[in-house]
Amino acid sequence: MTDPLISVIVTTYNRPDALERVLAGCIEQYDPSYEIIVADDGSSDDTRSTIERIAETTPIQIHHVWQPDQGFRAAAIRNKGIAHARGDYLIFLDGDCVPQHDFVMQHRLLAQGGCVVTGSRILLDEALTREVIEQKIPLPRQPAGFWLKQRLAGHANKIAPLFIKLPDSAWRRVKKFKWRGIKSCNMSAWRRDLEQVNGFDESFVGWGHEDADLVLRLANHGVQRKLGAYATEIFHLWHREQARDQESSNYARVAARLNDGCVRAEKGLAELTDDSDSYSVSNLSAD
């Protein structure tokens, strides 16, 4: 019996060289039952060309969901990705985060009713990132010696999770809401739970904390957080920091919701329409 379909939603914006490395990892998963949704926050045609080229090389379904470039709107494009995903279980990944070959499999193993999984990442520095992109290095295929060398040289902040995989157990459950470690670049949840809280809140503008807001509202709805550390680690390619002009106001909004028990996003999945923000969807792989 085939496992239920999982949808991997990859958020990207004008970084096709990094996205190429990410999609290369995505199409080499051990788990056989998944699709890829590239949720594109207004990239130019170079990104679309990259996605089309990779889609031609794999039987894995790849869909491209695009919206016009109107500033940082990660929440909006993720919602559009959710709307067009076919799976009942969704994994969120960023377009500069290369997954290991067991990434989907590990998220599937940790999936549990009434839970959201938040994973962690291995940070690569600028020098290693440049080498990976220029030489098209397949990070998940590299042997232990390669990673030991990178760690000793300070090019990666940790490597132990590559070699130590821990099973699901009680220590993964987070009993109370905690900000630390919530990253939508590596997160998974059930579609039904996301629909109950109305998805990501698009009223959050600019960079910052829309992911913590989602996890908080899920917690307010009774969905418990599980830690994906030592199971779902990704390789996070280096990039310059986003402008954080709205971070303090976004933080304040989440803090307020921590006290008022808010569950539903002000503007989320329920407010999407077929022509919302003039977005488009392309199914790039043949059925």
Please name the amino acid found at residue 86: R
- CATH for 245: 3.90.550.10
CB under 8 Å to 188, separation ≥6 — which residues? 89, 90, 91, 92, 107, 110, 111, 116, 117, 119, 228
Whether residue 130 has pLDDT greater than 70: yes
Q: Is 61 a domain residue? A: yes
**pLDDT per residue over 150-191, tens digit each?**
999 999 999 999 999 999 999 999 998 888 888 889 999 999
**pLDDT per residue over 60-97, tens digit each?**
999 999 999 998 899 999 999 999 999 999 999 999 99
Least confident of 95-109, 240-254, 263-277: 240-254
Angstrom distance (rounded) from CA 252 to CA 142: 42
Helix (H/G/I), strand (E/B), else coil: 63: strand
Q: Is 281 a domain residue? A: no
The domain tally of the chain equals 1
Give the mean pLDDT of 220-233: 97
Q: Can you give the pLDDT at residue 246?
A: 61
* Token reading at 57: 């090389």
Give the mean pLDDT of 221-230: 97
Q: Is 283 a domain residue? A: no
Whether residue 226 has pLDDT greater than 80: yes
Q: Can you give the pLDDT at residue 248?
A: 74
The Cα angle at residue 108 between residues 103 and 112, in degrees rounded to 5: 140
Give the mean pLDDT of 183-212: 91
Q: Can you give the pLDDT at residue 249?
A: 81
Q: Is 215 a domain residue? A: yes
**pLDDT per residue over 41-69, tens digit each?**
999 999 999 999 999 999 999 999 999 99
Give the mean pLDDT of 224-253: 85
**Confidence tier at 273 by pLDDT (50, 70, 90):** confident
Counting residues of the chain whose pLDDT is more than 70, the rounded percentage is 92
How does the average pLDDT of the chain come out, rounded? 92
Task: Tell me how far CA of residue 93 lies from CA of 103, 153, 189, 221, 277, in angstroms.
Answer: 10, 27, 12, 23, 22
**pLDDT per residue over 237-250, tens digit each?**
998 766 555 667 88
For residue 141, the 8-state DSSP code is G
Q: Is 286 a domain residue? A: no
Q: Can you give the pLDDT at residue 278?
A: 52
**Positive or negative torsion for Cα 247, 250, 251, 252:** positive
Q: Is 287 a domain residue? A: no
pTM of the model: 0.93
Helix (H/G/I), strand (E/B), else coil: 39: strand
Q: Is 44 a domain residue? A: yes
Q: Is 232 a domain residue? A: yes
Name the residue range of residue 196's domain. Answer: 6-272
CB under 8 Å to 72, separation ≥6 — which residues? 41, 205, 206, 207, 242, 243
Angstrom distance (rounded) from CA 31 to CA 36: 13
